[in-house]
Amino acid sequence: MKEERKHTKHTALIKPLGGEFHRNEWAIIGAPCDRIEALVNDLSAFLSKKYKIGYVDAAHSSAEYTEPFYTKYTDEISVQNFHSQKKAGQKQNRKFFNDCDLVFVNGNHFTASKQIVILNEKKKDSLSRKLDRLTDVQFLVQDGGEVYSFLKDKIRDGLESFMMNESELIARRIEKEMIQEVAPLYGLVLAGGKSQRMGTDKGALEYKQKPHREYTADLISGFCEKTYISCRETQRDAFKSAYPKLIDTFTGLGPYGAILSAFREHPNHACLSIACDLPYIDKESINQLIHKRNPSKLATCFHNPDTQFPEPLITIWEPKAYPVLLEFLSQGYSCPRKVLINTEVEEIKMDNPGAMFNANDKQSYAQAVKGIKNAEKS
């Protein structure tokens, strides 16, 4: 009897961490809205010195909109204003907060993946009706209330508690959580090119007694939780590697497609992408990039003094880069450098700019081989 396969309608994808609004979202619930807003303002005053903060709230009365425009954008120099009659649909809110590091949410109106419960008698009954929103309570804030019996099943034993006026202590507690949750780093050696200018597989060329894709993977693996070799489907069995291969699923896009493919598989990890044709790349340069990493930015990269542009051949892409890369692709762009130029990135001066030398044809390959041999002799 033929075994029937279970039909799956959609491809199973790994979801980004977080909830409706952000990877790092905190709902504050259990008090009147003015008390929640006051706490958010106090926390943001402390945290905004280092982080970009977002806030989600709802008005208690309908705002009258008399403009004839469905959507209106106004550049107000220091802030940008969007007015729209369109209500964001399911799973469409995160794009508005993608640049933020942290989003506070008024839990009286919306849900978030983490919660701070304020104990305030005025909202006791309201809180008792919203227990389904308490999925991951981080700590309590005392504001004239008590730990109600209906909360016992929703909070851990020994859960931390703060007073309402201890906003700096609360902010430090949140910051501690944010530091612990910086996205772990995976390495990606970009080795899926067709090497048309070189005439042979660039990743297989040996500068230091092994295929350079393996040498590069060895170099970055000490800095990354896991390291992959990126390649095309047709290369799956073309070479052996000590590292797992990550097959391009965004095909025909070169390095851009490789980075997108990595995020498709691992959307909750940052990606250290590095080309396989950098013969002078060294541990010190990788260490410099890691040390200067800024998770608050879309990416961390080196400034190329020759091009006067950010250099995409060695870049740390944060998880927030994934939707932006997809957005650029939807507008017809598949150049990583163009993304770096047109977004907020951490661009640093490389201590050893010679490590960015790119050997992508026979002439530059011969130059690199000669340079390495001369360096070894000296």
- Return the CATH class of domain 185-377: alpha beta
- For the segment 129-153, the average pLDDT, to the nearest whole number, is 95
- 25-58+72-180 folds as Rossmann fold (3.40.50)
Pairwise CA distance, residues 74 & 97, whole Å: 18
Tell me the CB-side half-sphere exposure of residue 234, using CA atoms within 13 A: 6
Say how many C-beta atoms besides its own lie within 10 A of residue 43's C-beta: 23
pLDDT, tens digit (0-9, with 9 covering 90-100), for 217-244: 999 999 999 999 999 999 999 899 999 9
Stretch (H or E) spanning 38: helix 33-47
pLDDT of 252 higher than 90: yes
What's the whole-model pTM score? 0.94
Amino acid at 215: Y
- Listed residue (306, 277, 281, 304) closest to 365, CA to CA: 277
Radius of gyration of the chain (CA): 25
Pairwise CA distance, residues 13 & 1, whole Å: 32
Contact 290, 222 (CB under 8 A): no
CA dihedral 258, 264, 269, 272 (to 10 degrees): 0
What is the residue extent of each domain of the chain? 25-58+72-180, 185-377
At residue 63, the pLDDT reads 73
